[in-house]
Each structure stands twice: as structure tokens, then as C-alpha cells.
Structure 1
């Protein structure tokens, strides 16, 4: 099984990004930051989701992210599927905070049950085939709409169309340039069909 150990976010000001992420999410070695001058604008094509125990934990991450300087994209609120929010980090990365439980359960604050990297791609079926060829095992698949791979390591990978990824996060799909993201795994480095870098 292919393991995803960490994500590396590239930022124009790496020191400021590290300060933000430590204060907002405290994910330790699962999230790394590096300096980058690569051009990027608008939506970078992906979202990182913190899946948590309940609504109070969503609020704890949301409050700390906003206090650290995140832009609110979607305020924390209930929905049919649960409770969630979306914020944009100062470096431009979109983060969703989600729980299937709408009421507090007494779970400890600022603890993520799982981290999901959701890649927005041009062709979900082709990307699924590509990643299966790289050793990932499909856990869930909904035709050409959404694919989630078995969790290996600290982070789960999922793919859906770029447009759907942006819509679900509450941002416009327009964007160009570098994704400013590197997926850190136990496979030899490669670049996928949509330009996402693995190392």
C-alpha cells in the first residue's frame, strides 16, 4: 500500500506560513512548509480537509485559524451531512473543517481524526487509473464523480473534478500556475496528469 506521510505547502513567505499553521492547526510533521517564488493565482486546484469528531472540534479549529489570520470562505454551520466550515490560509491554501456530528460529544478540541487531500482533476476516471497504477488501492468510487483511496500513512487521498472541488469548498474554480503542493509519500517521485507533485 502506498503511504502518504505529509503534505508540503509552498509559500511566498515560508516563515509566516509556518507560524500560521502551527497556530491554526498544529498538525506537526504531517504538514511542512517550504519557500517558493513559483507563480500562482486563484484556486490552486485542491483542498485539504480536517475530518473531526464533532461540531465543537470544527469550531475549535475554525476559531484558531481565523485568529491566526485565515480568511473565512464558509462560516461554520450545520448542513444535511453534518457540520463544517471552509477557510483560506494566508498562503492561499483552501482548508475545509468537517464532522458528521452536529452536536458536541465531549471530544478534545483541535484534534483531527483524519486529513484528506482532495485533488481537483480534469478527468476523474483517468486519474483513478493513474493512481491505481502507482500502487494506491481504491476504497470508494462513484463513477467519474469521486474516488477515495485507502488510507495509508497520515493522509487520505481523494479526487474529483476541479469544478466540484472548488464548488464544495465555496471558492471559484479559476486559477493558474503552480499548485504549490508536494505530496510526501513512500513511492518514487512523480508528477501526476494534473501537475500534482509527489516526492
Structure 2
């Protein structure tokens, strides 16, 4: 389906992670608190090293960051960067048992109440070789740029029903921010859903036709 002749704003509608053990991944996502927002699909696709993306959770305050990191660690995640203060706030990085890297952060420097398990926003950061080129590609697919900082970062507008925002970041810069080597081969192990239909971007991230993510978690078999 071509989007060239329509004025409809295209946006990311779902995120599907490809995992080797569907039941174990579902258990982790439930314990971590992201199960309603992310789809899972069984896959044995080969992948080594950095998969080129991260999912970033924005929360309200430092104790909420700690709450998410603690729950993930208890469910089997590996902490790549312990939570710490920085110029922009407070946050940490973890790797789920399925290999997905998550970042949890807040811009707040102090707590204003007890910790919660509420997520303010989820951003899918794709690590790309050329931010400007990838931004042009996605604009051509019908996505609308919400924020852009030259060749360093670009963020796209999300639809009202989208649980996840899409953003672009330099691959090596993203890997450095996450504390992992930038090298990686094989599948990205992630599928993006959109009303734009099926295509692959310049860095090999695969998109497929999809509707908005249901409020309950969805798991699919590899043959689905």
C-alpha cells in the first residue's frame, strides 16, 4: 500500500520483539511492567552483539526508576548501567533475558512521593548510521517529524493510540549511551507495525502492516 497520495499521518502503531522463549519473555515483561505495551513473537533468527535499538521508559521520579530496575533484576535481567544521577536526571540501563536493552530514566532530580509502577512514555530509539538519511526515508513513508537536532537525533509524532514513540539516534552514540559495544550482526529481532504497510528502512529495521496495539498483551507464533 503506497502512502504517497494520502494526507493521513502515519505513525508507529506496535512494537513486536522476536524472542527464543515466548513463555519466559512473557513472564519477564509481566514482572517488569511493560507487557501491555509490547508484543512478542517466537523466533530463532540469528543475532549477535548490539541489535541496534533500545526501548526507553520515562517515569516520574528516581524511586520509580529504582522500582522498575529492581523488578527487572528480580525477573532475570542484567543491569548494564546501575541507576545514577546525571546532568539530565536519573536513570539506568538493563538487558532483558531475551536480549532486549531497556533504559529507564526520569528528568526529576528528587522524589516527590512514594514510588509507583507508572510509565509516562515509551520511546523506541533506533540506532542508525545516518540520521538525516533515515529521517528523509521515514518522512517519505509518511511519518511526521516532531523534533530534530541535525544529524544527531530525530523524533516522530505518534498517533493518539500509539503506545510507543519512534526516534532515531546515531548507532555508535546509542551504543555508547547504553554502555555496550556498537558491533552486532544478524537480525534486529524487532518488528515495527504501521499503517504504511510492509517495508524495511536503510538500516534493515523491518516494518509490517498492523493496527493499533490492543490494551492487553499479544503474543504470536513465528508462523502468524
TM-score by length of structure 2 reads 0.85
Q: What is the aligned partner in structure 1 of residue 29 from structure 2? A: 21
- Aligned alpha-carbon RMSD (Å): 1.2
Change (3 A) 1:107 1:118: farther
* Unpaired stretches in structure 1, ≥5 consecutive residues: none
- Residue 136 of structure 1 aligns to a residue whose secondary structure is coil
Q: What is the aligned partner in structure 2 of residue 178 from structure 1? A: 187
Q: Once the two structures are superposed, what CA deviation does each residue of 1:128-186 show, in whole Å capped at 9, x if it has no partner?
A: 00001111111111111111111221111110111011111111111110000011222
1:42 aligned residue (44, 49, 52): 49
Map 1:80-159 to 2 at 5 A. Answer: 80-106=87-113, 109-152=116-159, 153-159=162-168
| Aligned residues of 1:3 and 1:154 also touching (Cα < 8 A) | no
Aligned residues: 198
2:199 pairs with 1:190: yes
* Unpaired stretches in structure 2, ≥5 consecutive residues: 1-8, 209-224
| Aligned residues of 1:53 and 1:107 also touching (Cα < 8 A) | no
| Aligned residues of 2:26 and 2:35 also touching (Cα < 8 A) | no
2:16 pairs with 1:12: no
Deviation at 1:108, TM superposition (A): 5.5
In 2: Cα distance, 1:132 partner to 1:119 partner: 15
| Aligned residues of 1:9 and 1:33 also touching (Cα < 8 A) | yes
Q: Once the two structures are superposed, what CA deviation does each residue of 1:35-80 show, in whole Å capped at 9, x if it has no partner?
A: 1111000110001000111111111111100000000000011111
